[in-house]
Chains A and B, each alone.
Chain A
Amino acid sequence: MESWEYHRAQDLHLRSGESVKSIRREVGLPGVLLALMKRPVLQLYLKGFHGLRINGKQNLPDRYPFVLVSNHSSHLDAVILSSLVPVPLSFRLFPIAAGDTFFESFVTSALASWFMNALPLWRRKVVTHSIESLRERVVSEPCGYIVFPEGTRTRTGFLNSFKPGVGKLVAGQDVPIIPCFIDGAFEALPSHRRFPYPKKISIEIGEAFRPEQVPNSKQGWLYIASELQKRIESLSTKQAV
């Protein structure tokens, strides 16, 4: 018999206003029910409006923890990635979102946290501290992240260079990183548009990259970032062929 651990909610003593903006926020029953309800709606929208095509489904993870990594060209990206994973893995899947974009006002932070489950990463403030906490969280409790290593949406449609932050998050840990390439999202909803066009979107899911051998140092972080960029670039050419 495995004894129960009183693994209490990490945001137990936060007020609800604080937990919205906290990276310790936990998903309870309301969050799970919301995820179950929004999933078919989003899938119907992606399939019907954008004709979403998925290649490489066999590469998707079957258990926590994992990190989904992709190019970032529109707000649709996080929606697409969160609708991909199997249902049981979709409840505690947290997109890592820019704190200064999504978590400054109450309305956007409530939307981002309740609807998308996003966790804030403050770009301008002390980033190291919150990346450290996120790094601990992904192994100490079962959960998954969606990370866009470019750091922001592309303004041109081309891939920007990957930042080493994603490496900081996972270097040396037993967390598979699944690189994905989303094609067509920029045409469907570029960063200057409010509402999407009905353009075709397809996604290519690559094989998992395991960073447990990579040292948790600056070189390791840079190596992970460049390796992921290479893989995602090769996924994009694979798709073009």
Chain B
Amino acid sequence: METAIYSRFFDPYNAFLHPESLWMSVAIVLTLVVAWILVYVLGRSGNFSDALRKELNLRIRSWAIMIPCILLPILMGAAWVMLGILVLSISCYREYARATGLFRNSWTSFWVVVGILCINVAVIDHWYGFFVALPSLGVIVLAAMAMFFAGPSGYLQRVALAVLGYLLFGVCLGHLGYIANDADYRPVMILLFLCVEINDVFAYIFGKLFGRIKLAPEISPNKTVGGALGALIGTVTLLLSVGLFVFEGTPMGSFPHLICLGGIVSVGGQMGDLMLSSIKRDIGIKDIGNTIPGHGGFLDRFDSILLVAPGFFHYVHSVNGFGLKDPARIFF
């Protein structure tokens, strides 16, 4: 294997090749520590109600587990990112299939999993042609295969569920893995995860502060217009200020592009959140699984990133390009 590919895949010494990755990681960890101290001190002084303190503590504790799980693979190398995304795709699809009942149709489910594996083959191989062909090819295969081993009754619903699952958890999440095909993927990816997750936090905080008008009371009663707008402004500001350093010296590193990208991340993230709420409302469940005990399933945790990943990827790809200088078609 060429040295460039090997070092992109496996070399942990590249972790802080870009100073931006180092100070973003430090800032994330510091933010968590400061948040923990703040909640502790304010809780002690009696500014919070007991319920609110408990909720904040639970959130901080879950972040303390989530942050290393996301950050370490990104810093360690592209292979771990791609493996992580594959595991995430399969786990999310499993939860979705079990919640909707699609898993009983093993044959259709099998082809969705094959599709997800193909996406990841294209990602690992850095095969852009196959990667962008797979959404349509997958739809063809699913529509054709769902005809076998089951009667025509329920065909349309079966295919619709399978195609949505494949597109959301295979294709959309696959874009995250594809970012790692660029040798300079680390700061971009940390920035993406940072903005998506902070977007949720902003929506929560601004919602508590200014939330009066409900955004979508039938889908998710806790979402407010104030929270949504606050998150939009906050995330755009964050992405703009950090993105100027991360994308410094590239076409992406300009104000209009970064503002657009911030809008995509913020709106996409909130839509992803509402989308999963709609799915859960429709099925009639509160959590979609029990993969992470106490916090529901993977899907409950990673709902916001689903709709952001393709938009983010294609925007940056059309302006900057991902992995244009890196070797393509590594294995096949």
List, in ascending order, chain A residues with CB within 8 A of B106's CB.
Answer: 28-29, 32, 91
Whether B290 and A12, one on each chain, are in contact in the complex, defined by CB atoms closer than 8 angstroms, is yes
Query: Does B183 touch A at the CB level, under 8 Å?
Result: no
Contact partner of B98 among A3, A26, A32, CB < 8 A?
A26
List, in ascending order, chain B residues with CB within 8 A of A26's CB.
Answer: 98, 103
Bound together, the chains give a CA A97 to CA B157 distance in angstroms of 36
Among A2, A6, A32, which residue has the most Cβ atoms of chain B within 10 A? A6
Whether B293 and A12, one on each chain, are in contact in the complex, defined by CB atoms closer than 8 angstroms, is no
- Residues of B147-164 contacting chain A, CB below 8 A: 149, 153-154, 156-158, 161
Query: Does B8 touch A at the CB level, under 8 Å?
Result: no
User: 1/0 contact trace for A1-15 toward B, CB 8 Å?
Assistant: 111111111001111
Whether A12 and B104, one on each chain, are in contact in the complex, defined by CB atoms closer than 8 angstroms, is no
Query: Does A88 touch B at the CB level, under 8 Å?
Result: yes
CB distance from A113 to the nearest CB of B (A): 17
Q: How many residues of B contact A (CB 8 A)?
A: 27
Whether A2 and B97, one on each chain, are in contact in the complex, defined by CB atoms closer than 8 angstroms, is no
- Report the nearest B residue to A5, measured CB to CB: B101
Query: Does B282 touch A at the CB level, under 8 Å?
Result: yes
A28 and B97 contact, Cβ closer than 8 Å, known pairs A2-B153, A6-B284 = yes
A9 and B103 contact, Cβ closer than 8 Å, known pairs A2-B153, A28-B98 = yes
Bound together, the chains give a CA A46 to CA B101 distance in angstroms of 35
- Report the nearest A residue to B103, measured CB to CB: A28
Query: Does B99 touch A at the CB level, under 8 Å?
Result: yes
CB distance from A148 to the nearest CB of B (A): 27
List, in ascending order, chain A residues with CB within 8 A of B113's CB.
Answer: 29
List, in ascending order, chain B residues with CB within 8 A of A8's CB.
Answer: 98-101, 283, 285
Contact partner of B149 among A5, A14, A88, CB < 8 A?
A88
List, in ascending order, chain B residues with CB within 8 A of A141's CB.
Answer: 104
Bound together, the chains give a CA A57 to CA B283 distance in angstroms of 41
List, in ascending order, chain A residues with CB within 8 A of B284's CB.
Answer: 6
Bound together, the chains give a CA A7 to CA B6 distance in angstroms of 46
- Residues of B62-110 contacting chain A, CB below 8 A: 94, 97-101, 103-104, 106, 109-110
What's the dominant secondary structure at chain B's contact region?
A: helix
CB distance from A34 to the nearest CB of B (A): 11
Query: Does B182 touch A at the CB level, under 8 Å?
Result: no
Query: Does B230 touch A at the CB level, under 8 Å?
Result: no
CB distance from B297 to the nearest CB of A (A): 9
Among B110, B157, B284, which residue has the most Cβ atoms of chain A within 10 A? B157
Whether B154 and A12, one on each chain, are in contact in the complex, defined by CB atoms closer than 8 angstroms, is no
Bound together, the chains give a CA A120 to CA B239 distance in angstroms of 54
Whether A29 and B109, one on each chain, are in contact in the complex, defined by CB atoms closer than 8 angstroms, is yes
List, in ascending order, chain B residues with CB within 8 A of A88's CB.
Answer: 149
List, in ascending order, chain A residues with CB within 8 A of B103's CB.
Answer: 9, 26, 28-29
Bound together, the chains give a CA A141 to CA B101 distance in angstroms of 11
Bound together, the chains give a CA A5 to CA B154 distance in angstroms of 9
Query: Does B287 touch A at the CB level, under 8 Å?
Result: yes
Query: Does B234 touch A at the CB level, under 8 Å?
Result: no
- Report the nearest B residue to A6, measured CB to CB: B283
Query: Does B177 touch A at the CB level, under 8 Å?
Result: no
Bound together, the chains give a CA A15 to CA B297 distance in angstroms of 11
Contact partner of B110 among A9, A12, A29, CB < 8 A?
A29
- Report the nearest A residue to B155, measured CB to CB: A1
Bound together, the chains give a CA A7 to CA B285 distance in angstroms of 12
Bound together, the chains give a CA A33 to CA B103 distance in angstroms of 13
A12 and B282 contact, Cβ closer than 8 Å, known pairs A1-B156, A32-B106 = no
| Contacts A/B (CB < 8 Å), 15 sampled | A1-B154, A4-B154, A4-B157, A6-B100, A6-B284, A8-B283, A8-B285, A9-B99, A12-B98, A12-B290, A15-B290, A28-B109, A29-B97, A29-B103, A29-B106
Known: A15-B290, A28-B109, A88-B149. 17 other contacts (CB 8 A): A1-B154, A2-B154, A4-B157, A6-B283, A7-B101, A8-B98, A8-B99, A8-B285, A12-B98, A12-B99, A12-B289, A26-B98, A28-B94, A28-B97, A29-B97, A29-B106, A29-B110
